[in-house]
Amino acid sequence: MASDLAIDVRGLTKHFGKKVAVDHVDIAVPQGEVWGFLGPNGSGKTTTIRMLCGLLHPDDGRGTCLGLDVITQSEQIKREVGYMTQKFSFWEDLSIRENLEFVARLYGLPDREAKVDHTLQRLGLVKRQKQLAGELSGGWKQRMALAACMLHEPKLLLLDEPTAGVDPKARRDFWEEIHALSEEGLTVLVSTHYMDEAERCDRIVYILNGKLIAKGTVNEVIAQSGLTTFVLEGEHVRRFLQKIQGQPGVDYAGFFGAALRVSGRDRIALEKTIAPYKNEAGVTVSETKPNLEDVFIHLQEDAK
């Protein structure tokens, strides 16, 4: 086993009843990298993360997390990993400080007071430390949760949609913190639905219906998709959507602002379909580099 991999799992599988939630997923995250974990709702992201931190027993597959076996050493993994749940899961009737002290005691941290003070400071929570967690807004809650799961100085952070429902400024601050942590050598696996966040990651993995179907840097994933995208702009482009959908070569068409984006893998067929619109008055057609959203929507449509 390579010791420079923070996460190294193969064939990770989990069933819930008859449904396969996670289907033979391989993930290998080198230490110190920030990986984005993407995929639609119910695709198996949370289940995968829970298996990595020992909250769920995999039905199949094996591997390690920080060099610890995910099947047999889940209790040790819990000590080494910081896991932030999708839903805020700290005690709302405790203050920020009380929550952090509780966590510090559970981990049996030495110099508890000092560590809590330091973490509060680092995340700018000093002034609010006496506020009840339940009274905090989404952004502060998320910050407190991050503080709590960093308190025991984990080597790996597993963050499950940490920025869902958080305003853009708070999201940006949050990501600055993530990158600062990663510079200190922390490995981060973060699931998200936001494309801009995916672009902040060293690498992304995309999971759909429990299967891992794309992996690499953002550019690699875009290139792998083999997608061609055209943008139709102009006053009346909205009229074309109905007509264009389902035409040869068009895998996906949709609006992005006032522009109509049309994507497909069959470049030649797509160009043929698009061609007539170039002659429409007041419409400009241009080719553009597909973005992650195009790719993901394409992947999702493709699977149907």
Pick the piece of the chain touching another protein (CB under 8 A) from 1-9, 62-70, 72-80, 283-291.
Answer: 72-80
Residue 85 interacts with another protein (CB under 8 A): yes or no? yes
* Cα R_g (the chain), whole angstroms: 22
CA distances from 75 to 55, 56, 70, 261 (A): 9, 12, 9, 48
- The owner of tokens 């508890």 is 112
Concatenate the DSSP letters of all residues of 52-80 into one string. Answer: HTTSS--SEEEEEETTEETTT-HHHHHHH
Pick the piece of the chain touching another protein (CB under 8 A) from 51-59, 62-70, 191-199, 270-278.
Answer: 51-59
Q: Is 105 or 236 the residue whose CB approaches another protein more closely?
A: 105
Residue 267 interacts with another protein (CB under 8 A): yes or no? no
Residue 200 interacts with another protein (CB under 8 A): yes or no? no
Name the token pair of 152. Answer: 């025991």
Residue 127 interacts with another protein (CB under 8 A): yes or no? no
Select the residue interacting with another protein from 10, 91, 226, 256 (CB under 8 A).
91
- The owner of tokens 């039905």 is 59
Residue 78 interacts with another protein (CB under 8 A): yes or no? yes
Are the C-beta atoms of residues 146 and 122 closer than 8 Å to each other?
no
Name every residue whose Cβ is closer than 8 Å to that of residue 112 and which is 6 or more positions away in sequence: 101, 104, 105
Name the token pair of 266. Answer: 């069959």
Pick the piece of the chain touching another protein (CB under 8 A) from 73-81, 177-185, 260-268, 290-298.
Answer: 73-81
Residue 79 interacts with another protein (CB under 8 A): yes or no? yes
- The site for another protein (CB under 8 A) is made up of 50, 53-57, 74-75, 78-79, 83, 85, 87-92, 103, 106-108
